[in-house]
Amino acid sequence: MKAANTIPEPDRISGAPHPRDTLRLIGQSEAESFFLTAFNSNRLHHGWLINGPRGVGKATLAWSIARFLLATPLQTEGGLFGDVLPPPNTLNIAQDHPVHSRTRAGSEPGLFVLRRPYDEKTNRLKKQITVDEVRKLKNFFALSATDGGRRVVIVDAADDMNISAANAILKVLEEPPERCCLLLISHQPAGLLPTLRSRCCDLRLLPLSPADMALALQQAETKSQADTEADFNTEADFNKEPEIEMATASKSASQGHAAVLAELSAGSVGGSIRLSNLDGIALYRDLISLFSQLPNLDRSQAIRLADTAAMRGAEDRFDMLLNLLDIFLSRLARSGVTGQMPAVEIIKGEFDVLRKAAPNPASGRAWAESAQQITARVQHGRAVNLDPAALILDTVFRMQKTAAR
């Protein structure tokens, strides 16, 4: 049996602290205020659907709410001497509060975290949250009810529940135990059962601004200032064309780096951390270099790029490369159709490539159509386990064909 501390956690982003260890929620003050308003007005719903793009702080908010509810006395209890406590204006609790240490240690009796379980037979995480996991809530509610306090359930993520598990959670929402609060985290709420969504109070989180992104990355300790400046000063040879380097989007290198990450990740902290860990910006620079001469293409350069994604153990790089190709296609289509460049130039010289490859609305529509076809081919290729290098080259050559129209 695998030791508990070596079992992978499905709700942890590689290279970042777990949401239970992230003490400060950044960039989501509106969602925090909405919850506190409901709490202070005695209208606290028993089910909350915390939704939004991946990596914007949904799990961090859920853990903050859980700690807050478990550490805040019930209104009937009052203070130490029975006095009426003032309404709280923050979800933060004292760091020396026992709830903090218990939640970090996974020993808080009033909290249950429902997530994909680890399969000892296959030595990997299961792909779904099953009904057997939901059934464990019965014992949790029975045991935690003895102290008379609140009970909190975090479902991370509700998107991972199979239909049986979703129906089981629906029954809990329809007949919630006393003093119970369910926090359902969802990246794609439209995919959940309509009846499940209707039983929850919607709490929508938005992508982070570049300024908030910089703070969030600093908190996650993804990169040092020296690494950031090194990234911005890295130069690339584009067939002896003027060298392309990362553009500074704000006054300092760290702020510019955050702006670029926010643009590439659509305001997702999780996506930004992944980009940093996998050198995603350098990889995007390679793509801009490759496509800088469209409709001409250096095939040897394309083959080298594809080969790096096909090496053993390079699955994450392969996924990242496909994602960056999709982002580049979207930026081509949007800039061509609208005639406007994106808000942030990710790599200096990128806008020149966009203008050349998508000079008018007709070309923009052609890129949009090509993006749909390429997405379908990629999905099919992955479904049949097509060789990663072959899949990358197929995508690149189809983009060359679109540029040559």
Q: Is the pLDDT of residue 237 over 70?
A: no
Residues 198 and 244 in one domain: no
Average pLDDT, the chain: 85
Query: Of 2-11, 148-157, 171-180, which gets the smallest average pLDDT?
Result: 2-11
At residue 223, the pLDDT reads: 38
pLDDT class of 254 with cuts at 50, 70, 90: low
What CATH code is carried by the domain that includes residue 80?
3.40.50.300
Final residue of a domain: which of 204, 237, 268?
A: 204
Q: How far apart are CA 136 and CA 334, in angstroms?
A: 48
Residues 171 and 44 in one domain: yes
At residue 144, the pLDDT reads: 62
List, in sequence order, every residue forming a beta bridge with 124; answer none if it has no partner.
119
Residues 199 and 241 in one domain: no
Most confident of 24-28, 51-55, 60-64: 60-64
* Average pLDDT of the residues in 331-346: 95
Final residue of a domain: which of 166, 183, 204?
A: 204
How confident is the model over 76-128, as pLDDT tens digits?
Answer: 555 555 556 788 999 999 989 999 999 999 999 999 999 999 888 888 889 99
Cβ neighbors of 233 (< 8 A, separation 6 or more) are: 245
At residue 83, the pLDDT reads: 58
Residues 174 and 229 in one domain: no
pTM score: 0.76
Q: Is the pLDDT of residue 236 over 60?
A: no
Q: How many structural domains compose the chain?
A: 2
Q: Is the pLDDT of residue 129 over 90?
A: yes
Pairing between β-strand 47-51 and β-strand 180-186 as defined by DSSP bridges: parallel
Residues 150 and 298 in one domain: no
Residues 384 and 275 in one domain: yes
Residues 200 and 214 in one domain: no
Residues 40 and 103 in one domain: yes
Question: Structural domain of residue 18, as residue ranges?
Answer: 4-204
Residues 21 and 77 in one domain: yes
Q: Is the pLDDT of residue 62 over 70?
A: yes
At residue 145, the pLDDT reads: 58
pLDDT class of 252 with cuts at 50, 70, 90: very low
Name the token pair of 136. 């464990």
Final residue of a domain: which of 204, 232, 261?
A: 204
Residues 283 and 195 in one domain: no
- Percent of the chain exceeding pLDDT 70 equals 85
pLDDT class of 239 with cuts at 50, 70, 90: very low
Residues 226 and 135 in one domain: no
Q: Is 27 left (phi over 0), alpha (psi -120 to 50) or beta?
A: left
Strand arrangement of the beta sheet that strand 111-114 belongs to: 111-114, 151-156, 180-186, 47-51, 201-204
Q: Is the pLDDT of residue 218 over 50?
A: yes
Residues 57 and 163 in one domain: yes
Nearest 10 degrees: Cα torsion 234, 237, 238, 239: 180
Q: Which residue has the higher pLDDT, 251 or 59?
A: 59
